[in-house]
Copies of this chain bind each other. A is one copy, B any other.
Amino acid sequence: MILYITMKIDLSTIKSPADIKGFDIEKLELLSEELRAALIKKLAAHGGHVGPNLGVVEATVALHYVFDAPKDEIVFDVSHQSYVHKMLTGRIGAFIDPTRYDEVTGYSSPQESEYDLFEIGHTSTSIALATGLAKARDLKGGRQNVVAFIGDASLGGGMALEALDYAPELGSNFIVVLNDNQMSIAENHGELYNHLATLRKSNGQAENNIFKALGYEYIYVAEGNDLRSLIKAFRNAKDKDHAVLVHINTMKGMGLPVAEAHKEEFHFNGPFDPKTGSPLNPVAAESYTEMFAMKMLQLMHADKNVVTLTAGTPAAIGFSEELRKQAGSQFVDVGIAEQDAVTMTAGLAKGGARPVMGVVSTFLQRAYDQLSHDVAINNLPAVFVDFYTGVYGMNDVTHLGLFDVAMVSNIPNIKMIAAANAEEYLAMIEWAVAQTEYPVVVRTPGGSVVHAGKTPSSDFLRYDVIEKGEEVAIIGYGALLQNALKAAELLKAKGIVPTVINARNLSEVDAECLDSLKGYRHVITIDDGILNGGVGQKIAAYLAHEGVKTTCLGLKNQFMDRYNAAEVLKENGMTPEQIAQTALE
């Protein structure tokens, strides 16, 4: 016993899974402890997905012990739980050396390692990706194992279910590891989770097994944090010539008491005190998400037909567990199922309720057709409020907020309106919920809260001329309206008084407003996102017909990972100084 207690594994020697293949079970257990301790240390200092990774330490060790990656192909769903995988596949330095913490991204990344097959960040894609790998293998006559590792919450996403349905039809080796930690980001929703509970309670023996119904060989692991059980199950699943699903019962946040006790709060965290769980850098008192939640509570209190919806991300739209309780049956969380949520708003609106879906901009992408068909063609007055938008939105390559304007603003019937400050934001939400003529998407500004200090002009489908000048016009919206205003100040210092316009209706140009710019020397537009498909090109096309010189500023059409907003604005000529300079051309 003393031997094991004093023996320490030097984690820095783990360069690849080959380095753990010779370990016996005790050493693998020790390795798991060391990995978990290192993980807690990094996460407390650096932040990241705490609960998801602590829950799968043993499962990841067992996977790499049993399977032979990269020959065997493992796809992590969302890949927010792939930290231990990174630790075991040549990237341990980024977890044990504080100076190197930022060397790895928070998701799987083929640019980092051949062990990472895809850039992933949205849920429910792993099984479909794995079916593609398996089919390619079969065409080539390969023999490797293909493994999709997916959480219980992600399994409820439509495309995961589509692929779960299809995969056994391949008729060849295919392994799904279902990591059942009994949680979504918040609590789980949907009947699938009751079914998983039934399976757990019966030690995998319950009747009406959905996985058996779909043709899978089903293996249940009651102790999903126990290495012996996991290794046995994975060995059992390996090299089979058909589809196998291994259902492992794990504990989210395992090994960190505050994370075990507060699973929702410890899904993703900034730096925190590992003992108390208290954040080291408390967030600013004021945020648009909180503003949204408070406004919705007020509107729901005033009218019981107002409903707030989310697809599995209540906290991201300001609804903590406490606020969800206050909202009661007027708060709907359908689980990670954006398509269902968006189309449910259409049914709610048709049924006379006033649905408001709060949604992270990048996740709204998952329901384009539902937005276009069920909401827009039917012209139903559903309301969507999208978050983390534009240059100041999230900056992981898989969570960018740069594409929502191009995606939404070109769908007919929908009015997409962008708020530039707190006053406009709250007024827009009130207006959107009160009206019943249009589907409306309200774009929450990215970044910190800005106060205009005055009531916004009220017709949100018209542009707002904030300053009336001459010869030069600067047109912006959302968070970047500030850059237009600052550029105007710089120009005024040089004796030029430009017109500054808030182009808050992103769906259609305000022809009357733009007509007043005929004869202008130079019009500059600023898109808060990619240039292509945005507001500037619509304005330019309108003005080009009149031959008005127009310069469209916006982001180059590319995916960027973990970018710096200030740098990106500079690269694209969008700082106030650069805008003023361009205006002088």
A401 at the interface (CB under 8 A from B): no
Chain A 77-104 against B: per-residue CB contact (8 Å), 1 yes, 0 no? 0000000000000000000000000000
Decide: B351 and A136 in contact? CB cutoff 8 A. Answer: yes
Decide: A117 and B350 in contact? CB cutoff 8 A. Answer: yes
Chain A 520-556 against B: per-residue CB contact (8 Å), 1 yes, 0 no? 0000000000111100111011011111111110000
Decide: B541 and A545 in contact? CB cutoff 8 A. Answer: no
Decide: B158 and A162 in contact? CB cutoff 8 A. Answer: yes
Decide: B544 and A548 in contact? CB cutoff 8 A. Answer: yes
Decide: B378 and A119 in contact? CB cutoff 8 A. Answer: yes
A337 at the interface (CB under 8 A from B): yes
Decide: B131 and A347 in contact? CB cutoff 8 A. Answer: yes
Residues of B within 8 A of A507 (CB): 557
Chain A 151-168 against B: per-residue CB contact (8 Å), 1 yes, 0 no? 000001111111101101
Residues of B within 8 A of A548 (CB): 544, 547
Chain A 96-130 against B: per-residue CB contact (8 Å), 1 yes, 0 no? 00000000000000100000011111100100111
Residues of B within 8 A of A536 (CB): 541
Decide: B209 and A195 in contact? CB cutoff 8 A. Answer: no
Closest to A190 in B: B165
Number of copies: 2
A312 to chain B, nearest CB (A): 11
Stretch at the interface among A27-35, A137-145, A317-325, A485-493: A137-145
Report the bound CA distance from A375 to B329 in whole Å: 38
Residues of B within 8 A of A121 (CB): 373
Decide: B156 and A169 in contact? CB cutoff 8 A. Answer: no
Report the bound CA distance from A403 to B372 in whole Å: 10
Decide: A159 and B343 in contact? CB cutoff 8 A. Answer: yes
Q: Which of B352, B370, B372 contacts A159 (CB 8 A)?
A: B370
A51 at the interface (CB under 8 A from B): no
A:194-226 near B, CB below 8 Å: 194-195, 198, 207-210, 212-215
Q: With A347-B136, A533-B406 as given contacts, are A374 and B125 in contact (CB-CB < 8 Å)?
A: yes
Residues of B within 8 A of A131 (CB): 340, 344, 347
Report the bound CA distance from A110 to B380 in whole Å: 12
Decide: B337 and A132 in contact? CB cutoff 8 A. Answer: no
A135 at the interface (CB under 8 A from B): yes
Q: Which of B140, B166, B351 contacts A305 (CB 8 A)?
A: B140
Residues of B within 8 A of A365 (CB): 368-369, 372-373
A575 at the interface (CB under 8 A from B): no
Chain A 488-524 against B: per-residue CB contact (8 Å), 1 yes, 0 no? 0000000000000000000110000000000000000
A316 at the interface (CB under 8 A from B): no
A156 to chain B, nearest CB (A): 6
Closest to A410 in B: B533
Decide: A344 and B128 in contact? CB cutoff 8 A. Answer: yes
A:66-80 near B, CB below 8 Å: 73
A249 at the interface (CB under 8 A from B): no
A45 at the interface (CB under 8 A from B): no
A442 at the interface (CB under 8 A from B): no
Closest to A156 in B: B165
Report the contact-size class of chain A (Cβ under 8 Å from the partner): 35 or more
Residues of B within 8 A of A559 (CB): 376-377, 412-413
A345 at the interface (CB under 8 A from B): yes
Q: Which of B135, B348, B373, B558 contacts A351 (CB 8 A)?
A: B135
Decide: B410 and A557 in contact? CB cutoff 8 A. Answer: yes
Closest to A210 in B: B213
Report the bound CA distance from A304 to B139 in whole Å: 7
A184 to chain B, nearest CB (A): 12
Report the bound CA distance from A208 to B166 in whole Å: 18
Residues of B within 8 A of A349 (CB): 132
Decide: A347 and B540 in contact? CB cutoff 8 A. Answer: no
Q: With A130-B347, A398-B377, A549-B545 as given contacts, are A191 and B215 in contact (CB-CB < 8 Å)?
A: yes
Decide: B166 and A189 in contact? CB cutoff 8 A. Answer: yes
Decide: B340 and A159 in contact? CB cutoff 8 A. Answer: yes
Decide: A350 and B118 in contact? CB cutoff 8 A. Answer: yes
A411 at the interface (CB under 8 A from B): yes
A482 to chain B, nearest CB (A): 23
Closest to A414 in B: B557
A280 at the interface (CB under 8 A from B): no
A20 at the interface (CB under 8 A from B): no
Beyond the given A159-B343, A195-B215, A373-B398, could you list 16 further A-B residue pairs with CB under 8 A, ordered by the A residue number? Answer: A119-B377, A129-B347, A132-B346, A133-B347, A134-B347, A136-B348, A137-B351, A139-B329, A139-B353, A140-B351, A156-B165, A162-B340, A207-B208, A365-B369, A533-B533, A543-B544
Q: Which 9 A-B pairs have the closest CB atoms?
A: A132-B347, A158-B158, A136-B351, A410-B533, A159-B339, A368-B368, A128-B343, A162-B337, A162-B340
Give A contacts to B, CB under 8 Å: 73, 110, 117-122, 125, 128-140, 156-163, 165-166, 168-169, 189-192, 194-195, 198, 207-210, 212-215, 304-305, 307, 329-330, 332, 334-335, 337, 339-340, 343-353, 355, 365-366, 368-370, 372-374, 376-378, 397-398, 403, 406-407, 409-413, 507-508, 530-533, 536-538, 540-541, 543-552, 557-559
Can you name 5 A-B residue pairings with CB atoms under 8 Å?
Answer: A133-B351, A136-B305, A162-B190, A166-B337, A541-B550
